[in-house]
Amino acid sequence: MSQFRYRPYYKRTLPHYQPPGAILFVTFRLAGSLPVNVIQRLREEFHRAETEITTIKNPQERARRRYEEQRRYFGKWDNALDTSTTGPFWLKDKRVADIVAKSLHFLNNERYMLDAYSIMSNHAHAVFQPLPKGDGYHSLTSIMHSIKVFTALESNKILNRSGQFWQPETYDHVVRDDAEWRRILRYVVYNPVKAGLVTEWNDWPWTYCRFDL
């Protein structure tokens, strides 16, 4: 696929790749879903690895190591979410999970092409390709802002609460090639299976994939 090519790297609190038009793997979580000490430990580990990576002179090797480190970081981060016993689990509420699912479908074919998603108790994964618009592409920032603002407002109404619902930042990764795209799709839809919630991925009511796996 022509849209699969390596793109520039940058980071804020989490590592980010956000080129226009690429297929993105995005994970967003509830506010307070991870303990502060866990977040701090993961960040420190990542920053130490990043400091070491910046000393690598060969650009291809530096890019390869950075990619590997991002995968490793995400794996630890997502596992911490899957195994967390503290923090809110508002997405366990069927009504709340339905709102998030409907919001993801609502923007499909309007701002992005939705490939897959899975909604867990305290976080959600999605794979989509932002669509073109007049001055370029719909940005990940604007897409996630729309999803989070609407779902937070509606979910808080259902839960009879106020205040922050989502963690402000998301974890996002550019899909580099077809092989990785297929691997990520399987990772997303099998997340509930891995967590022991169902035995077949399509038995989970808040999993979607528009392709045969």
| Domain locations along the chain | 14-33+88-209, 34-86
Are 192 and 207 in contact by the 8 Å Cβ rule? The answer is yes
Domain 14-33+88-209: what homologous superfamily? Transposase IS200-like (3.30.70.1290)
Angle at 85 between CA 84 and CA 88, to 5 degrees: 90
Based on DSSP, count helices (H) and strands (E) in the chain, helices before strands.
6, 9
208's tokens: 């979607």
Residue type, 151: T
DSSP reduced 3-state for 18: coil
Are 23 and 174 in contact by the 8 Å Cβ rule? The answer is yes
- Count of beta carbons in the 10 Å neighbourhood of residue 74: 20
Angle at 78 between CA 139 and CA 96, to 5 degrees: 70
**pLDDT tens-place values along the chain, 213 residues long:** 334 333 334 344 555 556 777 999 999 999 999 888 888 888 898 889 888 888 988 988 888 888 888 888 888 888 889 888 888 999 999 999 999 999 999 999 999 999 999 999 999 999 999 999 888 899 899 999 999 999 999 999 999 999 999 999 888 888 989 999 999 999 999 999 999 999 999 999 999 999 987
- Count of beta carbons in the 10 Å neighbourhood of residue 88: 17
What is residue 75's predicted lDDT score, i.e. its pLDDT? 84
Rounded to whole angstroms, the Cα distance separating 119 from 205 reads: 9
